[in-house]
Amino acid sequence: MKSGPIYLRRLVGENEKRPIEPCTDFWRCPDIEIQGGIDAGTAKAPSTAGTTIDNYIQVTVRNAGTKTIENVEVQVWVCDYGVGIGPKGGIPSAGGPAGLGPRLLGDIASGASASAKLRWRVTHDDAIRNPDGHHCIIANAYGTAPDDNGLEISVTPPFTKDVIFICCDSHHGWRNINAKVASGMLIAQGEGEFVFPLLVGNPTVNDLEGILTVTQVQQGGFGPTEREHLLSGGHVEWTHPDQDPKCTRLVLGGDADLPPDQQVIVSGTDRPMLDLGLDGDLGSGSEVKFALRPDDVMPMRVLGRFDPKTQPGEVFIFDVVQRDSNGEVLSGARMLATVVR
């Protein structure tokens, strides 16, 4: 495997262990954070074209080895998830394919960590590029010293032209974020049917074949990151925001001031989503094969239908994942859908 002593975590509480099996839920790295924005997963964008707002991407790199790793550097890309997750998908406001950095963190001692902040000048185009301003931030860390097993610290330092192998390379981190006009994850609210538009691109420089899937995630997938995105979008609120969130309830926006018996509680559901599937230029179904040239970007949609028995506040969670013909994960996005009234 491509793991080494320096790493970015997949989830809070995890270490450098790779591979991630099964290769899912890899897009909320807590070591990649937005600062100066709306929250850790939401960048602040200007309301008018031609202006920018400075946000900062903070990346924390950790050393799980027994020796100091010298000359550690980190580089970052903010990617248009429709083009593909990798340097090729880098957006103009964050350096395009060249990305942000590399930024020197210096030496990291055994058991220690170091952080860097890289400025991202967010534009109005970033807020309207994809539904909900959805983007993916990826990071690559590398150093000059070998690890304890004599393996290279990073496969390709610096990383310039290929895809990010997040599930088998501990030096890579990935976080899905939103860029919003100052006022993660895509959120739909409504009744009956729903539609999420998305674009499917080729993140590599070669012809690419693989499969695109959409899969419902059961109730256990409704965690802190999902709550954070619902809160940041103004879709829900805490019943007692001045208290520990663990002691309060998450309710639909505008319900917190109502008596408890009139509040609509928001939570994940195990109720199956009906007719969940993909549809578009690549085909239809829960699994769709693709063959893409390097510059292809194909419009697709995620379609679903709520069970008539669905109650307001039930949150449906599903993942869209792009894999190559060898099963390697190339990109993915988590989506949320709920009935509001």
The domain of 138 spans 6-181
- What pairs with residue 76 in β-bridges? 100, 139
Q: Are residues 189 and 327 in the same domain?
A: yes
Q: Are residues 197 and 236 in the same domain?
A: yes
Q: What is the pLDDT of residue 20?
A: 67
Q: Specify if 275 maps to a domain.
A: yes
Q: What is the pLDDT of residue 156?
A: 46
Structure confidence at residue 187 as a pLDDT band (50, 70, 90): very low
Count of C-beta atoms within a 10 Å radius of residue 297: 15
Q: What is the pLDDT of residue 181?
A: 54
- Distance between CA 239 and CA 252 in Å, rounded? 10
- Distance between CA 335 and CA 278 in Å, rounded? 13
Contact 207, 293 (CB under 8 A): yes
Q: Are residues 157 and 189 in the same domain?
A: no
Q: What is the pLDDT of residue 179?
A: 66
Answer yes or no: is pLDDT of 1 > 60. Answer: no
Answer yes or no: is pLDDT of 94 > 80. Answer: yes
β 42-45/100-108 pair status: unpaired
Q: Are residues 300 and 238 in the same domain?
A: yes
Q: Are residues 105 and 42 in the same domain?
A: yes
Q: Where are the alpha helices (DSSP H) in the chain?
A: 124-128, 224-232
**Chain centroid to CA 336: how far?**
13
Answer yes or no: is pLDDT of 150 > 60. Answer: no
Contact 306, 339 (CB under 8 A): yes
Q: Are residues 168 and 189 in the same domain?
A: no
Mean pLDDT of 80-102: 82
Q: Are residues 175 and 266 in the same domain?
A: no
How many domains, the chain?
2
Q: Are residues 220 and 154 in the same domain?
A: no
Q: Specify if 1 maps to a domain.
A: no
Q: What is the pLDDT of residue 131?
A: 63
Q: Are residues 119 and 152 in the same domain?
A: yes
pLDDT tens digit string along 229-284? 777 667 788 888 777 766 788 888 888 888 888 888 888 898 998 999 999 989 99
Q: Specify if 307 maps to a domain.
A: yes
Residue that finishes a domain, picked among 135, 154, 181: 181
Q: Specify if 264 maps to a domain.
A: yes
Contact 25, 176 (CB under 8 A): no
Mean pLDDT taken over the chain = 80
Answer yes or no: is pLDDT of 148 > 70. Answer: no
Angle at CA 132, nearest 5°, toward 11 and 160?
60
Answer yes or no: is pLDDT of 140 > 80. Answer: yes
Q: Specify if 94 maps to a domain.
A: yes
**Chain centroid to CA 333: how far?**
6
Q: What is the pTM of this model?
A: 0.65
Q: Specify if 53 maps to a domain.
A: yes
- Distance between CA 192 and CA 256 in Å, rounded? 26
Residue that finishes a domain, picked among 181, 204, 237: 181
Residue that finishes a domain, picked among 122, 149, 181: 181
Contact 166, 159 (CB under 8 A): no
Q: Specify if 309 maps to a domain.
A: yes
Q: Are residues 159 and 249 in the same domain?
A: no
Mean pLDDT of 298-312: 87
- Distance between CA 180 and CA 147 in Å, rounded? 41
Q: What is the pLDDT of residue 39?
A: 79
Name the residue with higher pLDDT: 174 or 26: 174
Q: Are residues 169 and 215 in the same domain?
A: no
Count of C-beta atoms within a 10 Å radius of residue 75: 24
Q: Are residues 45 and 170 in the same domain?
A: yes
pLDDT tens digit string along 318-335? 888 888 898 887 777 778
Contact 64, 31 (CB under 8 A): no
Length of the chain as a residue count: 341
**What's 201's domain CATH number?**
2.60.40.10
